[in-house]
Amino acid sequence: MKRNYYWKFSKILLYILLRFIEISSASYHERRLYEDLMRDYNNLERPVANHTLPVTVYLKVSLQQLIDVDEKNQIVYVNAWLDYTWNDYKLRWDREEYGNISDVRFPAGKIWKPDVLLYNSVDANFDSTYPTNMVVYHTGDVSWVPPGIFKISCKIDIKWFPFDEQRCFFKFGSWTYNGFKLDLQPAKGGFDISEYLPNGEWALPLTTVSRSEKFYDCCPEPYPDLTFYLHMRRRTLYYGFNLIMPCILTTAMSLLTFTLPPEAGEKITLQITVLLSICFFLGILAEMSPPTSEAVPLLGIFFSCCMIVVTASTVFTVYVLNLHYRTPETHEMGAKSRTLLLYWLPYILRIERPGVTLTWQTLPSLLPCSKPKRHSESLIRNIKENETGSRASFDIEHRLSRYMTSFTNGGAKSFLNSGALESTVFATPGPKPTSAEVGNHATM
């Protein structure tokens, strides 16, 4: 029993000892490899055997997230990884001589790296990448993948907001090396969006990459650069339900004021409320738009037109209320107002007057040629007829009362039957009463 126990314990100690020897051997080979690679190495020297040849650097951008698009300041915030690859002939080794070690890591700045920067960066530090380690393989290939939160300038065209599409880009290039010293090329799959986290406001239907060379006035050498394009399309569902539809419904409410009776007293209040609502939507749009005069969003033009329509509707409502509360005793309709309200406006609105057909040919003949009379002739004629009838009735009653006081009830009845009253009382022109009216008056 004890022999088995000692045998198991011995195997465990032997295994631990072998592992320790292996780890020590690996650490020895790795330390020796670092020492051999850094011997006579200068991180300022370009990694080329012939100084007349350029260093070829391949660049790939892996887009992780589109954080935000600041339309007002025309800045796009992006989370991306930059994948640089080049070959350094001084960093090659035989794996069999160093314990089959295939790759090692160097901190940024320990070995040569390209001075490639983002040209259109608006970050305060300009280079917003994190200084990660560089991986060196036994073949001399160097891989450097620095992540970063990039702030890039992008010209925002908001003419078709919120149905707009934007085209922003990353532009990378060497800051000091020309094309004869450093050749910048796009890597395979230059713009990688396989790990991209979709944005709720913007969709990415297309991503492209292009290479170009630029010549500056100072130098005859070309300076290559890589441009990674982002084609962004705005998702319009949010703005449709929260901006466009409320404005359309609010503008349609201004038409309700013409259906309200003037006695309601809420016509002006409703118009002003609608006007303030449209001004509120216009203010929201102004906060999102960049302060530029190069382009005005069509939605802003729509809001401005709605505001003009509602303002004109408010003015017309005030004018209609002013006319409604005018009376013939306080105001007199002028010739221009009569022409506009009684002739031209009914013709435009296709409103027919009773007995009159308004056409383009008959309209000039109906226009008043002189100052309108203060009172209607038909109204004055009706008043005169009523006054004549009232005076005749008063004369009949006065004469009847005078004759009735002279006779008794029986004498009055015989007098009425004789017809003498009719010839005497109704000598004056006017309406004659019936026998029933005279009898009723005699019995009073």
**Token code pair at residue 202:** 């913007």
Confidence band for 441, pLDDT divided at 50, 70 and 90: very low
Percent of the chain with pLDDT over 70: 73
* Range scoring the smallest mean pLDDT among 186-190, 254-258, 317-321: 254-258
- Is pLDDT above 60 for 178? yes
- CA 256, chain centre distance (Å): 25
Q: At what angle do helices 245-253 and 298-324 cross, to 10 degrees?
A: 10
- Is pLDDT above 50 for 5? yes
The rounded distance, in Å, linking the Cα atoms of 436 and 205 is: 101
pLDDT for the residue 55: 94
DSSP lists the bridge partners of residue 118 as 172
Contacts of 293 (CB under 8 A, 6+ apart): none
Alpha helices in 139-294 (DSSP H): 237-239, 245-253, 267-288
Q: CATH topology for 238-332?
A: Methane Monooxygenase Hydroxylase; Chain G, domain 1 (1.20.58)
412 compared with 330, residue with greater pLDDT: 330
Confidence band for 165, pLDDT divided at 50, 70 and 90: very high
For 336-379, how does the pLDDT look when each residue is reduced to its tens digit (9 = 90+)?
877 777 777 777 777 776 666 666 666 666 555 444 444 445 54
For 259-309, how does the pLDDT look when each residue is reduced to its tens digit (9 = 90+)?
777 777 777 888 888 888 888 888 888 887 777 667 788 888 888 888 888
Q: Are 120 and 152 in contact (CB under 8 A)?
A: yes
Please give the span between the terminal C-alpha atoms of the chain, in angstroms, as a whole number. 154
Confidence band for 399, pLDDT divided at 50, 70 and 90: low
Contacts of 258 (CB under 8 A, 6+ apart): 313, 317
- Is pLDDT above 80 for 202? yes
Outline where DSSP puts E strands in 122-265.
134-137, 141-144, 147-153, 165-174, 182-192, 202-215, 222-234
The rounded distance, in Å, linking the Cα atoms of 196 and 169 is: 16
**Token code pair at residue 346:** 């009914």
Confidence band for 104, pLDDT divided at 50, 70 and 90: very high
Per residue in 90-106, is it b (16+ CB within 10 Å) or e — as a string? bbebeeeebeebeebeb
pLDDT for the residue 444: 47
The rounded distance, in Å, linking the Cα atoms of 73 and 60 is: 28
- Is pLDDT above 80 for 228? yes
Give me the DSSP letters along 240-275: IIIIIHHHHHHHHHGGGGGTS-GGGS-HHHHHHHHH
Confidence band for 24, pLDDT divided at 50, 70 and 90: very low
Sign of CA dihedral 44, 170, 220, 181: positive
pLDDT for the residue 260: 78
Q: Are 147 and 130 in contact (CB under 8 A)?
A: yes
10 compared with 392, residue with greater pLDDT: 10
The rounded distance, in Å, linking the Cα atoms of 66 and 262 is: 55
Q: Are 162 and 284 in contact (CB under 8 A)?
A: no
pLDDT for the residue 407: 47
What own/partner pairs with CB < 8 Å and gap ≥ 24 does 312-320 have? 313/254, 313/255, 313/257, 313/258, 313/271, 314/268, 314/271, 314/272, 314/275, 317/257, 317/258, 317/267, 317/268, 317/271, 318/268, 320/262
CATH top-level class of 55-233: mainly beta
